């Protein structure tokens, strides 16, 4: 929520006992959609800022960290990622990164709130540059129901680019949902989901990994990366695969990727999969 000084936007993280603030110039947009309140601010140093229900979603300055780590590790782990489904991802940044991969034949974005996408097209056009790509398709509806209705072995990579596990997104962190993902993924299928802060949210990450294992995924790997505007400044994405993820990683392809990135490369991929000691202890 906004702080006492009207020139700052502040989000408090009660579980972490901390807060993060950005200096703002003006509010660009404010609406209550069918599902949530969406605000956009112009900040002094982080470009445009999107806030949903009082929580920072992204800024123009640092979103590349999240979007690249939500897409490239999974796509470079699958041997031939042609059919991609993004659950959530309404700002379209993950879709943009996915479509940098020439081998992708079809990328479907399943977002419950169309207004997030339309507002992003207006205030974050750099994230939406691939929206007119003929390989891109949009479905505005419930991602959980979409997965239930999807055909067996019809998808290569599932990217769950969701908000925190509250409200409509809560069902995306359950064993029942992961069972549907397991069914929909093909033989070498890879699932990746944003998994909050390892410093603040092991109470989310640990049950999430266990639910993936119970759903039948043979290998689980959590990737760590910085994200300044999210609680603690340290974020994660968790991959689940039908086969061993480390050996499936196409390191040479990542090293020689034919497209630009700001953060991700083959060395970052290896480094991000190295977990700190406290993380190993927390999983025991």
Identify the pLDDT of residue 171.
Answer: 81
End-to-end CA distance of the chain: 37
Burial 111-139 (b: 16+ CB within 10 A, else e): bbbbbbbebbeebbeebbebbeeebbebe
Q: Which of 59, 75, 90 is the last residue of a domain?
A: 59
In a domain, 3, yes or no: no
Same domain, 21 and 141: no
Same domain, 51 and 182: no
- Active-site position among 152, 161, 164, 284: 161
Q: Residue 39 in contact with residue 120, Cβ under 8 Å? A: no
Same domain, 12 and 119: no
- The total domain count for the chain is 2
- Give the Cα separation of 234 and 228 in Å (integer): 7
Residue 218 DSSP label: S
pLDDT band (50, 70, 90) for residue 6: low
Number of Cβ within a 10 Å radius of residue 102: 9
pLDDT band (50, 70, 90) for residue 167: low
Q: Residue 88 in contact with residue 68, Cβ under 8 Å? A: no
Same domain, 68 and 24: no
- CA dist 165 → 121, 194, 196, 201 (Å): 25, 10, 9, 11
- Asked if 113 is an active-site residue, the reply is no
- Give the Cα separation of 265 and 233 in Å (integer): 20
Exposed/middle/buried for residue 228 (C-beta within 10 Å: 0-12, 13-18, 19+): middle
In a domain, 202, yes or no: yes
Identify the CA nearest to 147 among candidates 194, 195, 179, 192: 179
**Torsion sign across C-alpha atoms 31, 52, 194, 74:** positive
Whole-prediction pTM: 0.95
Per-residue pLDDT, averaged over 247-264, amounts to: 98
Residue 1 in this model has a pLDDT that exceeds 50: no
Q: Residue 230 in contact with residue 36, Cβ under 8 Å? A: no
Identify the pLDDT of residue 163.
Answer: 73
pLDDT band (50, 70, 90) for residue 10: very high
Q: The CATH number of the domain where 214 resides is what?
A: 3.40.50.150
Residues forming beta bridges with residue 232, ordered by sequence position: none
Q: Identify the domain containing residue 182 by its residue range.
A: 63-283
- Which residues 6+ apart lie within 8 Å of 5 measured at CB? none
pLDDT tens-digit readout, 189-210: 999 999 999 999 999 999 999 9
pLDDT tens-digit readout, 87-134: 999 999 999 999 999 999 999 999 999 999 999 999 999 999 999 999
pLDDT tens-digit readout, 18-60: 999 999 999 999 999 999 999 999 999 999 999 999 999 999 9
Same domain, 178 and 73: yes
Residue 3 in this model has a pLDDT that exceeds 60: no
Identify the CA nearest to 159 among candidates 221, 237, 235, 91: 237
């Amino acid at each position: 929520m906004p702080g006492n000084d009207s020139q700052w936007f502040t989000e408090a993280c009660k579980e972490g006992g901390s807060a993060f603030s950005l200096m703002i110039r003006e509010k660009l947009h404010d609406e209550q959609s069918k599902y949530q309140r969406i605000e956009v601010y112009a900040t002094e140093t982080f470009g445009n800022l999107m806030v949903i229900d009082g929580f920072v979603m992204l800024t123009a300055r640092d979103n590349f960290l999240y979007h690249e780590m939500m897409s490239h590790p999974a796509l470079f782990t699958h041997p031939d990622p042609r059919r991609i489904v993004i659950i959530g991802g309404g700002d379209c940044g993950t879709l943009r990164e996915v479509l940098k991969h020439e081998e992708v034949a079809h990328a479907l974005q399943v977002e419950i709130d169309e207004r997030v996408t339309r507002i992003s097209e207006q205030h974050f056009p750099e994230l939406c540059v691939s929206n007119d790509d003929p390989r891109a398709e949009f479905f505005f509806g419930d991602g959980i129901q979409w997965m239930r209705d999807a055909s067996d072995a019809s998808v290569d990579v599932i990217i769950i680019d969701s908000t925190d596990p509250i409200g409509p997104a809560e069902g995306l962190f359950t064993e029942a949902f992961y069972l549907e993902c397991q069914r929909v993924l093909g033989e070498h299928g890879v699932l990746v989901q944003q998994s909050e802060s390892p410093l603040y949210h092991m109470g989310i990450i640990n049950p999430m990994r266990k639910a993936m294992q119970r759903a039948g995924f043979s290998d689980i790997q959590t990737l760590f990366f910085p994200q300044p505007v999210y609680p603690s400044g340290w974020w994660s994405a968790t991959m689940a695969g039908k086969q061993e993820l480390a050996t499936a990683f196409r390191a040479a392809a990542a090293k020689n990727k034919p497209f630009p990135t700001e953060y991700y490369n083959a060395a970052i991929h290896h480094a991000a999969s190295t977990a700190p000691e406290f993380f190993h202890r927390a999983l025991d």
